[in-house]
């Protein structure tokens, strides 16, 4: 797996979302590189890890990443948050803090369960539809997903242009990795791990995020010991693109606490 290392200071690991790569964090890197050594991971099948033999699954990815990075806090955006949460819950000695950026323990609704949190999230059918779309119109499906990520932000146009520009900046993600990533988003449920999480966590939401509702992240944080929940107002699913100063400030404050 490709891991780019930039900056100086205490280490921090950054994990990107579905179909993207570590380069998408450029605005955040510019604000953090003078105070943290950043380890920017390209997940298997994405970016410069296009030919990685590591399966895009929680345990193999976490094991492979830990073999290449020092003990450090992890920050995961969207799909990357699932790997971050799994790493911290299973190996707290390696991940002493974690930040979830527009990510949650479960991305889909669980309408058959009681309680408010069960109904917050997106329908699993959405991820099934994207999986079907990949087989019929690969590029069109990726473009629709990127549009969904940008929707709601008060800088929606700028965010959409940036995501479209960055999507293939390190090459096209593999079809297998995209399918495996959608399966993770649709099926993984890490909510049972939250009450036992033994490290401090930051849950940073975008108020206008249509993929991971801020209210869902707040409720998850309420079930997690030593959790801090914060919201970036007017932001969508990728606040580090449109509100990079605010995201960097919240991260730095959390890491220094």
Active-site residue, from 36, 39, 237, 243? 237
To the query of whether residue 78 is one of the catalytic residues in this protein, the response is yes
Indicate the fold that domain 3-256 takes in CATH.
Rossmann fold (3.40.50)
Helices (H) and strands (E) in the chain, counts: 10, 7
Active-site residue, from 16, 36, 42, 78? 78
pTM score: 0.94
Structural contact between residues 19 and 142, judged by C-beta atoms closer than 8 angstroms: yes
Spans of all domains in the chain = 3-256
To the query of whether residue 50 is one of the catalytic residues in this protein, the response is no
To the query of whether residue 201 is one of the catalytic residues in this protein, the response is no
Tens-of-pLDDT digits for all 257 residues of the chain?
Answer: 999 999 999 999 999 999 999 999 999 999 999 999 999 999 999 999 999 999 999 999 999 999 999 999 999 999 999 999 999 999 999 999 999 999 999 999 887 776 666 557 788 888 888 889 888 888 888 898 888 888 877 788 888 898 888 889 999 999 999 999 999 999 999 999 999 999 999 999 999 998 999 999 999 999 999 999 999 999 999 999 999 999 999 999 999 98
Cα 227 from Cα 223, distance rounded (Å): 8
Structural contact between residues 100 and 217, judged by C-beta atoms closer than 8 angstroms: yes
Structural contact between residues 191 and 223, judged by C-beta atoms closer than 8 angstroms: yes
- Residue 147 is encoded by which pair of tokens? 């549009």
Residues found in the chain: 257
Active-site residue, from 42, 166, 180, 209? 209
Residue 123: HSE in the Cβ half-sphere, 13 Å Cα cutoff: 5
């Amino acid at each position: 797996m490709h891991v780019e290392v930039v900056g100086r200071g205490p280490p921090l690991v950054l994990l990107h979302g579905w179909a993207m790569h570590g380069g998408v964090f450029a605005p955040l890197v510019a604000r953090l590189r003078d105070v943290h050594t950043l380890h920017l991971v390209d997940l298997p099948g994405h970016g410069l890890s296009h030919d990685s033999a590591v399966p895009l699954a929680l345990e193999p990815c976490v094991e492979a990443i830990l073999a290449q990075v020092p003990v450090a806090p992890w920050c995961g955006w969207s799909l990357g948050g699932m790997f971050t949460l799994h790493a911290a819950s299973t190996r707290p000695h390696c991940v002493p803090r974690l930040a979830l950026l527009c990510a949650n323990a479960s991305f889909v609704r669980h309408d058959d369960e009681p309680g408010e949190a069960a109904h917050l999230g997106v329908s699993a059918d959405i991820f099934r539809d994207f999986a079907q779309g990949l087989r019929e119109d690969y590029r069109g499906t990726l473009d629709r997903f990127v549009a969904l990520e940008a929707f709601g932000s008060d800088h929606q146009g700028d965010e959409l242009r940036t995501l479209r520009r960055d999507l293939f900046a390190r090459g096209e993600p593999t079809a297998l990795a995209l399918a495996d990533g959608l399966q993770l988003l649709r099926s993984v449920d890490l909510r049972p791990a939250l009450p036992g999480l033994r490290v401090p966590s930051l849950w940073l939401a975008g108020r206008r995020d249509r993929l991971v509702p801020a209210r869902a992240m707040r409720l998850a944080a309420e079930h997690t010991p030593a959790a801090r929940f914060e919201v970036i107002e007017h932001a969508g699913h990728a606040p580090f693109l449109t509100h990079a100063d605010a995201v960097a400030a919240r991260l730095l404050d959390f890491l220094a606490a």
